[in-house]
Amino acid sequence: MSDATDPWLIVGLGNPGPEYAANRHNVGFMVADLLAERIGGKFKRAPKAQAQVLEGRMGPPGPLSRRVVLAKPMSYMNLSGGPVTALRDFYKVPLGHVVAVHDELDIDYGSLRLKLGGGDNGHNGLKSMTKSMGPDYHRIRFGIGRPPGRMQVADFVLKDFSSTERKELGFLVDRAADSVECLLAEGLERAQSAYNS
């Protein structure tokens, strides 16, 4: 069971290294970076986990303010579960207070879907997290659409957003960051009705 004083762990999923920074697969890192900017802090190496973290508060001052740990696993996407579980244990975060922000192939580019629990839909970062700690964490699914023509999924997710997509990307990452704040302050149902598209 969790209560309002328990911290939240917001995990942006992606791959470490400059060569991956602008890939579709790294949109979770992009959202985490924007949230870090809003909190006004910088990521640093995590204690006891292969990740970068930033501790802070999110939301308006007062009873809606939430203690948060923003995290970017540095283990590569397919091994995200280990660092996330280590952070959960270290910061004593209930599973229902874990939020994974990730790219989603089965949703049109720019659409968001928030949900609690469920399958991994072939997403290796989620697969690794679920294997480590079970499926009952929140997901913020950022639509990237399906690959065009016969392009392989692996090639598609490891390519940068197209020039057309990049025109809207800043706005969409901003909206995804807003949805995280709404989830923490007002709960899943309210965030779903405001942001699911």
Residue with tokens 């924007």: 34
| Of the candidates 147, 149, 153, 129, the residue with the CA atom closest to the CA atom of residue 139 | 129
Angle at 182 between CA 83 and CA 68, to 5 degrees: 35
Place of tokens 């049109």: 108
In the annotation, is 102 catalytic?
no
DSSP code per residue over 14-83: ---SGGGTTBGGGHHHHHHHHHHHHHT---EEPTTSSEEEEEEEESSSSTT-EEEEEEEESS-GGGTHHH
**Token pair for 51:** 């990740």
In angstroms, the CA 179 to CA 196 distance is 9
CA 49 to chain centre: 17
Catalytic residue (choose from 25, 102, 123, 138): 25
Q: Where in the sequence numbering do the catalytic residues fall?
A: 25
